Structure 1
Protein backbone atom coordinates (compact mmCIF):
# COMPACT_ATOMS: atom_id res chain seq x y z
CA UNK A 1 0.00 0.00 0.00
CA UNK A 2 1.21 3.50 -0.79
CA UNK A 3 2.83 5.30 2.14
CA UNK A 4 1.51 8.59 0.84
CA UNK A 5 -2.00 7.18 0.53
CA UNK A 6 -1.91 6.05 4.16
CA UNK A 7 -1.19 9.62 5.25
CA UNK A 8 -4.78 10.82 5.12
CA UNK A 9 -5.57 13.41 7.81
CA UNK A 10 -8.33 12.43 10.23
CA UNK A 11 -11.75 13.26 8.78
CA UNK A 12 -10.36 13.91 5.29
CA UNK A 13 -11.60 11.97 2.27
CA UNK A 14 -9.50 9.10 0.97
CA UNK A 15 -10.32 10.12 -2.61
CA UNK A 16 -11.35 13.63 -3.65
CA UNK A 17 -12.33 14.88 -7.11
CA UNK A 18 -12.66 18.59 -7.84
CA UNK A 19 -13.93 20.34 -10.98
CA UNK A 20 -13.60 17.34 -13.30
CA UNK A 21 -14.11 18.15 -16.97
CA UNK A 22 -13.87 15.54 -19.71
CA UNK A 23 -15.01 15.69 -23.31
CA UNK A 24 -14.97 13.18 -26.14
CA UNK A 25 -15.04 15.22 -29.31
CA UNK A 26 -18.00 17.59 -28.94
CA UNK A 27 -19.63 15.47 -26.23
CA UNK A 28 -19.10 16.80 -22.70
CA UNK A 29 -19.17 13.79 -20.38
CA UNK A 30 -18.15 15.67 -17.22
CA UNK A 31 -18.77 19.37 -16.55
CA UNK A 32 -17.08 20.24 -13.26
CA UNK A 33 -17.93 17.08 -11.31
CA UNK A 34 -16.82 16.96 -7.65
CA UNK A 35 -16.88 13.98 -5.30
CA UNK A 36 -15.49 12.81 -1.93
CA UNK A 37 -14.99 9.17 -0.95
CA UNK A 38 -14.13 8.24 2.64
CA UNK A 39 -12.23 5.20 3.86
CA UNK A 40 -14.49 2.15 4.24
CA UNK A 41 -17.48 3.85 2.61
CA UNK A 42 -19.69 2.28 -0.05
CA UNK A 43 -20.69 5.16 -2.32
CA UNK A 44 -23.24 4.71 -5.11
CA UNK A 45 -23.04 6.97 -8.15
CA UNK A 46 -26.33 6.77 -10.04
CA UNK A 47 -27.71 8.53 -13.08
CA UNK A 48 -29.30 8.01 -16.46
CA UNK A 49 -27.50 6.32 -19.32
CA UNK A 50 -25.06 8.78 -20.87
CA UNK A 51 -24.82 10.95 -17.75
CA UNK A 52 -21.05 10.41 -17.46
CA UNK A 53 -20.98 7.74 -14.73
CA UNK A 54 -18.37 5.50 -16.35
CA UNK A 55 -16.24 8.48 -17.35
CA UNK A 56 -16.29 9.65 -13.73
CA UNK A 57 -15.18 6.20 -12.54
CA UNK A 58 -12.39 6.10 -15.11
CA UNK A 59 -11.13 9.50 -13.95
CA UNK A 60 -11.36 8.56 -10.27
CA UNK A 61 -9.37 5.36 -10.83
CA UNK A 62 -6.70 6.98 -12.99
CA UNK A 63 -7.68 5.04 -16.12
CA UNK A 64 -8.53 8.29 -17.90
CA UNK A 65 -7.01 11.73 -17.29
CA UNK A 66 -9.54 14.59 -17.06
CA UNK A 67 -9.23 17.59 -19.37
CA UNK A 68 -9.44 19.83 -16.31
CA UNK A 69 -9.84 19.44 -12.56
CA UNK A 70 -8.04 17.14 -10.12
CA UNK A 71 -8.33 13.76 -8.40
CA UNK A 72 -6.46 13.37 -5.11
CA UNK A 73 -5.78 10.03 -3.45
CA UNK A 74 -4.32 10.61 -0.02
CA UNK A 75 -1.46 13.01 -0.70
CA UNK A 76 -1.07 12.10 -4.36
CA UNK A 77 -2.78 13.85 -7.27
CA UNK A 78 -3.68 11.12 -9.73
CA UNK A 79 -4.06 13.36 -12.76
CA UNK A 80 -0.42 14.43 -12.40
CA UNK A 81 1.13 11.01 -11.79
CA UNK A 82 3.16 9.17 -14.44
CA UNK A 83 1.50 6.12 -15.98
CA UNK A 84 3.96 3.83 -14.21
CA UNK A 85 2.77 5.03 -10.79
CA UNK A 86 -0.89 4.81 -11.83
CA UNK A 87 -0.35 1.22 -12.96
CA UNK A 88 1.25 0.45 -9.61
CA UNK A 89 -1.73 1.89 -7.73
CA UNK A 90 -4.12 -0.21 -9.83
CA UNK A 91 -2.11 -3.31 -8.85
CA UNK A 92 -1.97 -2.51 -5.14
CA UNK A 93 -4.41 0.12 -3.86
CA UNK A 94 -7.22 0.02 -6.45
CA UNK A 95 -9.42 -2.86 -7.62
CA UNK A 96 -11.70 -2.52 -10.64
CA UNK A 97 -14.77 -4.58 -11.59
CA UNK A 98 -16.56 -4.06 -14.90
CA UNK A 99 -20.08 -4.99 -16.01
CA UNK A 100 -19.03 -8.21 -17.76
CA UNK A 101 -16.27 -9.26 -15.35
CA UNK A 102 -13.58 -9.17 -18.07
CA UNK A 103 -11.81 -12.28 -16.90
CA UNK A 104 -9.24 -13.73 -19.30
CA UNK A 105 -11.18 -16.47 -21.15
CA UNK A 106 -8.18 -18.76 -21.70
CA UNK A 107 -7.26 -18.96 -18.00
CA UNK A 108 -8.98 -20.99 -15.28
CA UNK A 109 -10.65 -18.93 -12.59
CA UNK A 110 -7.92 -19.59 -10.00
CA UNK A 111 -5.29 -18.05 -12.31
CA UNK A 112 -7.57 -15.13 -13.20
CA UNK A 113 -7.99 -14.25 -9.53
CA UNK A 114 -4.32 -14.81 -8.69
CA UNK A 115 -3.10 -12.75 -11.67
CA UNK A 116 -2.80 -9.35 -9.88
CA UNK A 117 -0.67 -11.02 -7.19
CA UNK A 118 1.49 -12.81 -9.75
CA UNK A 119 2.06 -9.52 -11.60
CA UNK A 120 3.15 -8.00 -8.29
CA UNK A 121 5.78 -10.73 -7.83
CA UNK A 122 3.95 -12.90 -5.28
CA UNK A 123 5.09 -16.56 -5.52
CA UNK A 124 2.60 -18.75 -7.38
CA UNK A 125 1.76 -21.03 -4.44
CA UNK A 126 1.04 -18.06 -2.15
CA UNK A 127 -0.94 -16.28 -4.87
CA UNK A 128 -3.13 -19.36 -5.36
CA UNK A 129 -3.67 -19.74 -1.61
CA UNK A 130 -4.84 -16.15 -1.32
CA UNK A 131 -6.96 -16.45 -4.46
CA UNK A 132 -8.61 -19.61 -3.11
CA UNK A 133 -9.51 -17.79 0.11
CA UNK A 134 -11.30 -15.07 -1.84
CA UNK A 135 -13.03 -17.55 -4.15
CA UNK A 136 -14.26 -19.32 -1.03
CA UNK A 137 -15.55 -16.04 0.41
CA UNK A 138 -17.52 -15.35 -2.75
CA UNK A 139 -18.85 -18.92 -2.97
CA UNK A 140 -17.13 -19.94 -6.21
CA UNK A 141 -14.12 -21.97 -5.05
CA UNK A 142 -15.79 -25.06 -6.52
CA UNK A 143 -15.35 -23.45 -9.95
CA UNK A 144 -11.62 -22.69 -9.49
CA UNK A 145 -10.48 -24.91 -12.39
CA UNK A 146 -13.21 -23.79 -14.80
CA UNK A 147 -12.70 -21.20 -17.49
CA UNK A 148 -15.04 -18.18 -17.53
CA UNK A 149 -17.01 -19.53 -20.50
CA UNK A 150 -17.97 -22.58 -18.44
CA UNK A 151 -19.52 -20.52 -15.63
CA UNK A 152 -22.76 -18.57 -15.15
CA UNK A 153 -22.72 -14.78 -15.37
CA UNK A 154 -23.17 -14.47 -11.62
CA UNK A 155 -20.27 -16.83 -10.94
CA UNK A 156 -18.01 -14.91 -13.32
CA UNK A 157 -18.90 -11.64 -11.63
CA UNK A 158 -18.21 -13.03 -8.14
CA UNK A 159 -14.84 -14.30 -9.39
CA UNK A 160 -14.17 -10.81 -10.79
CA UNK A 161 -14.90 -9.36 -7.34
CA UNK A 162 -12.46 -11.86 -5.83
CA UNK A 163 -9.81 -10.69 -8.31
CA UNK A 164 -10.48 -7.04 -7.46
CA UNK A 165 -10.12 -7.66 -3.71
CA UNK A 166 -7.29 -10.23 -3.66
CA UNK A 167 -4.56 -7.60 -3.36
CA UNK A 168 -6.17 -5.94 -0.33
CA UNK A 169 -7.00 -2.64 -2.06
CA UNK A 170 -8.11 0.52 -0.30
CA UNK A 171 -10.70 1.28 -3.01
CA UNK A 172 -12.76 -0.92 -5.35
CA UNK A 173 -14.31 0.73 -8.41
CA UNK A 174 -17.35 -1.27 -9.59
CA UNK A 175 -18.86 -0.18 -12.92
CA UNK A 176 -22.42 -1.56 -13.23
CA UNK A 177 -21.32 -4.88 -11.63
CA UNK A 178 -24.85 -6.33 -11.85
CA UNK A 179 -25.82 -4.83 -15.21
CA UNK A 180 -25.53 -8.14 -17.10
CA UNK A 181 -27.18 -10.29 -14.41
CA UNK A 182 -30.73 -11.28 -13.52
CA UNK A 183 -32.22 -10.01 -10.25
CA UNK A 184 -31.14 -13.05 -8.20
CA UNK A 185 -27.60 -13.02 -9.56
CA UNK A 186 -27.39 -9.28 -8.97
CA UNK A 187 -28.54 -9.64 -5.39
CA UNK A 188 -25.96 -12.37 -4.72
CA UNK A 189 -23.15 -10.28 -6.20
CA UNK A 190 -24.10 -7.13 -4.28
CA UNK A 191 -24.56 -8.98 -0.98
CA UNK A 192 -21.12 -10.57 -1.40
CA UNK A 193 -19.49 -7.25 -2.33
CA UNK A 194 -21.08 -5.31 0.54
CA UNK A 195 -20.12 -7.94 3.13
CA UNK A 196 -16.54 -8.23 1.87
CA UNK A 197 -16.06 -4.46 1.70
CA UNK A 198 -17.32 -3.92 5.24
CA UNK A 199 -15.30 -6.81 6.67
CA UNK A 200 -12.09 -5.48 5.12
CA UNK A 201 -12.90 -1.74 5.49
CA UNK A 202 -12.52 -1.30 1.73
CA UNK A 203 -14.08 1.78 0.15
CA UNK A 204 -16.27 1.13 -2.90
CA UNK A 205 -17.32 3.44 -5.73
CA UNK A 206 -20.41 1.74 -7.15
CA UNK A 207 -21.63 2.93 -10.54
CA UNK A 208 -25.26 1.95 -11.15
CA UNK A 209 -28.56 3.02 -12.69
CA UNK A 210 -30.48 0.53 -10.51
CA UNK A 211 -32.08 1.84 -7.30
CA UNK A 212 -32.01 -1.65 -5.77
CA UNK A 213 -28.24 -1.82 -6.28
CA UNK A 214 -27.74 1.71 -4.95
CA UNK A 215 -29.61 0.67 -1.79
CA UNK A 216 -26.56 -1.40 -0.74
CA UNK A 217 -24.52 1.80 -0.41
CA UNK A 218 -23.95 3.97 2.65
CA UNK A 219 -24.43 7.10 0.55
CA UNK A 220 -25.67 7.92 -2.93
CA UNK A 221 -24.88 10.77 -5.30
CA UNK A 222 -26.49 11.38 -8.68
CA UNK A 223 -24.71 12.41 -11.82
CA UNK A 224 -26.79 14.73 -13.99
CA UNK A 225 -25.48 16.52 -17.07
CA UNK A 226 -21.90 15.85 -16.01
CA UNK A 227 -22.17 17.25 -12.48
CA UNK A 228 -22.63 15.50 -9.14
CA UNK A 229 -25.69 16.10 -6.99
CA UNK A 230 -25.64 14.88 -3.38
CA UNK A 231 -28.42 12.64 -2.10
CA UNK A 232 -29.25 11.87 1.53
CA UNK A 233 -27.72 8.88 3.31
CA UNK A 234 -29.60 5.72 2.44
CA UNK A 235 -31.29 4.39 5.61
CA UNK A 236 -31.81 0.96 4.07
CA UNK A 237 -28.07 0.38 3.57
CA UNK A 238 -27.63 -1.08 7.04
CA UNK A 239 -30.39 -3.59 6.41
CA UNK A 240 -28.22 -5.38 3.82
CA UNK A 241 -25.24 -5.75 6.15
CA UNK A 242 -26.12 -8.96 7.96
Structure 2
Protein backbone atom coordinates (compact mmCIF):
# COMPACT_ATOMS: atom_id res chain seq x y z
CA UNK A 1 0.00 0.00 0.00
CA UNK A 2 1.29 3.46 -0.89
CA UNK A 3 1.75 6.06 1.83
CA UNK A 4 -0.87 8.83 1.75
CA UNK A 5 -0.49 10.66 5.06
CA UNK A 6 2.57 11.08 7.24
CA UNK A 7 2.70 13.01 10.52
CA UNK A 8 5.90 13.67 12.43
CA UNK A 9 6.40 15.10 15.93
CA UNK A 10 3.03 16.88 16.10
CA UNK A 11 2.68 19.19 19.08
CA UNK A 12 -0.35 21.27 19.98
CA UNK A 13 -1.36 23.09 23.15
CA UNK A 14 -4.50 24.98 24.10
CA UNK A 15 -3.48 27.37 26.86
CA UNK A 16 -1.88 25.20 29.51
CA UNK A 17 -3.43 22.00 28.14
CA UNK A 18 -1.16 19.79 26.05
CA UNK A 19 -3.27 18.14 23.35
CA UNK A 20 -0.44 16.61 21.28
CA UNK A 21 3.04 15.92 22.54
CA UNK A 22 5.19 14.60 19.70
CA UNK A 23 2.72 12.34 17.87
CA UNK A 24 3.85 10.37 14.78
CA UNK A 25 1.56 8.48 12.40
CA UNK A 26 1.64 7.05 8.87
CA UNK A 27 -1.53 6.13 6.95
CA UNK A 28 -1.48 4.23 3.67
CA UNK A 29 -3.99 4.03 0.82
CA UNK A 30 -6.65 1.42 1.52
CA UNK A 31 -5.86 1.30 5.23
CA UNK A 32 -8.39 1.69 8.03
CA UNK A 33 -6.75 3.08 11.18
CA UNK A 34 -8.69 3.18 14.45
CA UNK A 35 -7.53 5.93 16.80
CA UNK A 36 -8.37 5.00 20.38
CA UNK A 37 -7.64 6.30 23.86
CA UNK A 38 -9.33 7.90 26.87
CA UNK A 39 -11.26 11.16 26.66
CA UNK A 40 -8.93 14.14 26.48
CA UNK A 41 -5.98 12.10 25.24
CA UNK A 42 -5.63 14.06 21.99
CA UNK A 43 -7.46 11.77 19.55
CA UNK A 44 -9.64 14.42 17.92
CA UNK A 45 -6.82 16.98 17.84
CA UNK A 46 -4.63 14.44 16.05
CA UNK A 47 -7.34 13.83 13.46
CA UNK A 48 -7.94 17.56 12.97
CA UNK A 49 -4.21 18.20 12.44
CA UNK A 50 -4.00 15.34 9.93
CA UNK A 51 -6.97 16.79 8.05
CA UNK A 52 -5.64 20.34 7.96
CA UNK A 53 -8.48 21.69 10.10
CA UNK A 54 -6.09 22.66 12.90
CA UNK A 55 -2.49 23.77 12.50
CA UNK A 56 -0.12 22.13 14.99
CA UNK A 57 2.22 24.37 16.95
CA UNK A 58 5.12 22.36 15.53
CA UNK A 59 5.69 19.21 13.55
CA UNK A 60 4.69 18.31 10.03
CA UNK A 61 1.87 16.60 8.13
CA UNK A 62 2.46 15.45 4.56
CA UNK A 63 -0.36 14.39 2.25
CA UNK A 64 1.30 12.77 -0.75
CA UNK A 65 3.66 15.56 -1.88
CA UNK A 66 1.90 18.43 -0.10
CA UNK A 67 3.06 19.78 3.26
CA UNK A 68 -0.36 20.31 4.84
CA UNK A 69 1.06 22.24 7.79
CA UNK A 70 2.69 24.80 5.47
CA UNK A 71 -0.15 24.95 2.92
CA UNK A 72 -2.17 28.11 2.41
CA UNK A 73 -5.75 28.35 3.66
CA UNK A 74 -7.02 27.98 0.09
CA UNK A 75 -4.91 24.87 -0.49
CA UNK A 76 -6.16 23.31 2.71
CA UNK A 77 -9.75 24.17 1.83
CA UNK A 78 -9.31 22.54 -1.58
CA UNK A 79 -8.02 19.39 0.11
CA UNK A 80 -11.02 19.26 2.41
CA UNK A 81 -13.44 19.76 -0.49
CA UNK A 82 -12.00 17.25 -2.93
CA UNK A 83 -9.47 14.86 -1.39
CA UNK A 84 -10.80 14.46 2.15
CA UNK A 85 -14.20 13.39 3.48
CA UNK A 86 -15.45 14.02 7.02
CA UNK A 87 -17.90 12.39 9.38
CA UNK A 88 -18.26 14.33 12.62
CA UNK A 89 -19.61 12.91 15.86
CA UNK A 90 -22.95 14.70 15.67
CA UNK A 91 -23.32 14.84 11.89
CA UNK A 92 -23.21 18.63 11.59
CA UNK A 93 -25.65 18.75 8.69
CA UNK A 94 -26.81 22.13 7.38
CA UNK A 95 -30.30 22.51 8.90
CA UNK A 96 -31.65 24.76 6.12
CA UNK A 97 -30.90 22.16 3.40
CA UNK A 98 -32.71 18.91 2.68
CA UNK A 99 -30.79 15.69 3.21
CA UNK A 100 -30.10 15.20 -0.49
CA UNK A 101 -28.91 18.83 -0.72
CA UNK A 102 -26.61 18.23 2.27
CA UNK A 103 -25.04 15.20 0.60
CA UNK A 104 -24.74 17.02 -2.74
CA UNK A 105 -23.15 20.10 -1.13
CA UNK A 106 -19.47 19.01 -1.50
CA UNK A 107 -20.09 18.28 -5.19
CA UNK A 108 -21.82 21.61 -5.73
CA UNK A 109 -18.86 23.38 -4.11
CA UNK A 110 -16.63 21.65 -6.67
CA UNK A 111 -18.75 22.99 -9.54
CA UNK A 112 -20.88 19.92 -10.30
CA UNK A 113 -24.26 20.86 -11.74
CA UNK A 114 -27.19 20.51 -9.35
CA UNK A 115 -28.99 17.70 -11.19
CA UNK A 116 -25.86 15.54 -11.42
CA UNK A 117 -24.81 16.32 -7.84
CA UNK A 118 -28.21 15.33 -6.46
CA UNK A 119 -28.30 12.18 -8.60
CA UNK A 120 -25.00 11.06 -7.11
CA UNK A 121 -26.15 12.11 -3.65
CA UNK A 122 -29.33 10.05 -3.99
CA UNK A 123 -27.26 7.00 -4.92
CA UNK A 124 -25.29 7.25 -1.69
CA UNK A 125 -28.45 7.78 0.36
CA UNK A 126 -29.79 4.56 -1.15
CA UNK A 127 -26.62 2.68 -0.21
CA UNK A 128 -27.07 3.80 3.39
CA UNK A 129 -30.80 2.98 3.43
CA UNK A 130 -31.97 6.57 3.97
CA UNK A 131 -33.18 7.37 0.45
CA UNK A 132 -36.66 8.13 1.78
CA UNK A 133 -35.16 10.95 3.86
CA UNK A 134 -33.86 12.77 0.77
CA UNK A 135 -36.37 15.66 0.76
CA UNK A 136 -36.58 16.07 4.52
CA UNK A 137 -34.53 18.55 6.49
CA UNK A 138 -32.21 17.30 9.25
CA UNK A 139 -34.56 18.52 12.00
CA UNK A 140 -37.24 16.12 10.78
CA UNK A 141 -35.17 12.92 10.94
CA UNK A 142 -33.66 10.87 13.77
CA UNK A 143 -30.08 11.20 14.98
CA UNK A 144 -29.18 7.83 13.53
CA UNK A 145 -30.65 8.71 10.14
CA UNK A 146 -28.79 12.02 10.23
CA UNK A 147 -25.50 10.25 10.91
CA UNK A 148 -26.01 7.99 7.90
CA UNK A 149 -26.74 11.08 5.80
CA UNK A 150 -23.47 12.56 7.10
CA UNK A 151 -21.61 9.41 6.04
CA UNK A 152 -23.13 9.71 2.57
CA UNK A 153 -21.96 13.33 2.41
CA UNK A 154 -18.43 12.26 3.36
CA UNK A 155 -18.27 9.61 0.63
CA UNK A 156 -20.09 11.32 -2.23
CA UNK A 157 -16.89 12.92 -3.62
CA UNK A 158 -15.09 9.54 -3.50
CA UNK A 159 -12.33 11.05 -1.32
CA UNK A 160 -8.84 9.62 -0.95
CA UNK A 161 -9.02 9.91 2.86
CA UNK A 162 -12.04 9.79 5.17
CA UNK A 163 -11.76 11.21 8.68
CA UNK A 164 -14.48 9.91 10.97
CA UNK A 165 -14.97 11.02 14.58
CA UNK A 166 -17.13 8.44 16.41
CA UNK A 167 -19.00 7.70 13.15
CA UNK A 168 -21.25 5.04 14.70
CA UNK A 169 -21.91 6.79 18.02
CA UNK A 170 -25.53 7.66 17.12
CA UNK A 171 -26.27 4.33 15.42
CA UNK A 172 -27.59 1.00 16.63
CA UNK A 173 -25.38 -2.04 16.09
CA UNK A 174 -27.01 -3.03 12.77
CA UNK A 175 -26.59 0.40 11.19
CA UNK A 176 -23.13 0.75 12.71
CA UNK A 177 -22.11 -2.46 10.96
CA UNK A 178 -23.57 -1.13 7.69
CA UNK A 179 -21.43 2.01 7.91
CA UNK A 180 -18.28 0.08 8.77
CA UNK A 181 -18.85 -2.39 5.94
CA UNK A 182 -19.19 0.55 3.58
CA UNK A 183 -15.91 2.04 4.83
CA UNK A 184 -14.29 -1.37 4.35
CA UNK A 185 -15.66 -1.59 0.81
CA UNK A 186 -14.27 1.85 -0.06
CA UNK A 187 -10.88 0.89 1.36
CA UNK A 188 -10.74 -2.38 -0.56
CA UNK A 189 -12.27 -1.25 -3.86
CA UNK A 190 -11.09 2.35 -4.18
CA UNK A 191 -8.00 2.47 -1.96
CA UNK A 192 -9.68 4.97 0.37
CA UNK A 193 -7.80 5.50 3.64
CA UNK A 194 -10.01 5.78 6.72
CA UNK A 195 -8.89 7.41 9.96
CA UNK A 196 -11.55 6.89 12.60
CA UNK A 197 -11.72 7.95 16.22
CA UNK A 198 -13.68 5.48 18.30
CA UNK A 199 -14.18 4.17 21.83
CA UNK A 200 -15.89 1.01 20.58
CA UNK A 201 -13.84 -2.20 20.23
CA UNK A 202 -16.48 -3.59 17.84
CA UNK A 203 -15.84 -0.65 15.49
CA UNK A 204 -12.07 -0.85 15.87
CA UNK A 205 -12.30 -4.52 14.89
CA UNK A 206 -12.96 -3.41 11.31
CA UNK A 207 -9.62 -1.60 11.18
CA UNK A 208 -6.29 -2.87 9.93
CA UNK A 209 -4.51 -1.20 12.81
CA UNK A 210 -5.31 0.35 16.16
CA UNK A 211 -3.43 3.43 17.36
CA UNK A 212 -3.69 4.25 21.06
CA UNK A 213 -3.22 7.90 22.03
CA UNK A 214 -2.32 8.75 25.63
CA UNK A 215 -1.33 12.15 26.95
CA UNK A 216 -0.94 13.52 23.42
CA UNK A 217 1.45 10.81 22.24
CA UNK A 218 0.96 7.58 20.33
CA UNK A 219 1.93 4.96 22.87
CA UNK A 220 1.04 1.63 21.30
CA UNK A 221 -0.25 0.16 18.08
CA UNK A 222 -1.83 -3.20 17.40
CA UNK A 223 -2.93 -4.97 14.25
CA UNK A 224 -6.51 -6.22 14.04
CA UNK A 225 -7.44 -7.52 10.59
Tell me whether the two structures share a fold, i.e. TM-score over 0.5: yes
d(CA) in 2 for partners of 1:198 and 1:154? 25
Q: Is 1:107 paired with 2:97?
A: yes
Q: Which among 193, 197, 202 is matched to residue 203 of structure 1?
A: 193
Q: Which among 32, 36, 53 is matched to residue 26 of structure 2?
A: 36
SS at structure 2 position matched to 1:157: helix
- The answer on whether the counterparts of 1:59 and 1:65 sit within 8 Å (CA) in structure 2 is yes
Question: How big is the shift at 1:106?
Answer: 1.6
d(CA) in 1 for partners of 2:135 and 2:189? 27
The size of the alignment, in residue pairs, is: 225
Q: Which among 208, 216, 221 is matched to residue 231 of structure 1?
A: 221
Q: Is 1:91 paired with 2:81?
A: yes
Farther-moved stretch of structure 1 (188-197 vs 106-115)? 188-197
Farther-moved stretch of structure 1 (162-171 vs 182-191)? 182-191
Task: List aligned pairs for 1:206-217, cutoff 5 A.
Answer: 206-217=196-207
- For structure 1, the residue ranges without an aligned partner over 5 or more in a row are 1-10, 236-242
d(CA) in 2 for partners of 1:121 and 1:127? 9
d(CA) in 1 for partners of 2:184 and 2:150? 14
Give the TM-score, by structure 1 length: 0.88
Residues 120-147 of structure 1: per-residue CA shift (max 9 Å, x gap): 1111111111111111111111211111
Q: Which residue in the other structure is 1:166 paired with?
A: 156
Residues 15-74 of structure 1: per-residue CA shift (max 9 Å, x gap): 000000000000000000000000011110100000000000100000000001000000
Task: List aligned pairs for 1:182-193, cutoff 5 A.
Answer: 182-193=172-183
- For structure 2, the residue ranges without an aligned partner over 5 or more in a row are none
SS at structure 1 position matched to 2:61: strand
Task: List aligned pairs for 1:117-156, cutoff 5 A.
Answer: 117-156=107-146
Q: Which residue in the other structure is 1:7 paired with?
A: none
Across the aligned residues of Structure 1 and Structure 2, the Cα RMSD in angstroms comes to 1.4
SS at structure 2 position matched to 1:14: strand
d(CA) in 1 for partners of 2:109 and 2:205? 35
d(CA) in 1 for partners of 2:57 and 2:169? 28
SS at structure 1 position matched to 2:91: coil
